[in-house]
Amino acid sequence: MRKLGANIMAATHSGGVIALHGNLGTGKTTLVRGALEFLGVSKGVRSPTYALIEYYAFDSLSVAHFDLYRLAHAEELEYLGYRDYMNEQTLCFVEWPDRAQDCLGDVGLDIFIDYDAEGRQVKLSSKCEWGNRIIESVIF
């Protein structure tokens, strides 16, 4: 999952929203950790389960990592100021995006992660050019 995160970061040059779908322990945070390690963050990458948002500022592209598992109502995102992160200079990784309902706006890339006795299965899906370019870079 770390390698996939790094490959996504290598293919991304602008902000957007990446929705991470999967049960607890499937590797969502590990994927984000790999993306941040690609940018040079070597330690201190933690799941934002309690803070809900962790923000990492870089010169060219910042990263916001959302973990919405504990979100009781989608309206809580407004109080967190989530719209401040939704811009062309910030790549937003969102765990448990279904809890935000329609508040996230346009999701550029959906990543579905499943883990069972046979191993981990990952599916990438996009309905926009930005996400499709990332998928093409990661797969080919």
The domain at 2-139 falls in which architecture? 3-Layer(aba) Sandwich (3.40)
Query: Which pLDDT tens digit goes with each residue over 50-70?
Result: 678 899 998 889 999 999 998
The reported pLDDT for the residue numbered 140 is: 63
Query: Which pLDDT tens digit goes with each residue over 107-137?
Result: 999 999 998 888 889 999 999 999 999 999 9
Look at 19-33, 45-59, 97-111, 126-140 and tell me which has the smallest mean pLDDT: 45-59
CB 99 within 8 A of CB 69: yes
Name which residue leads in pLDDT, 133 or 13.
133
Where along the chain do its domains lie? 2-139
Query: Which pLDDT tens digit goes with each residue over 70-82?
Result: 888 888 888 888 8
Which pTM was predicted?
0.91
Give the C-alpha distances (Å, rounded to integers) separating 62 from 9, 22, 24, 105: 11, 24, 26, 19
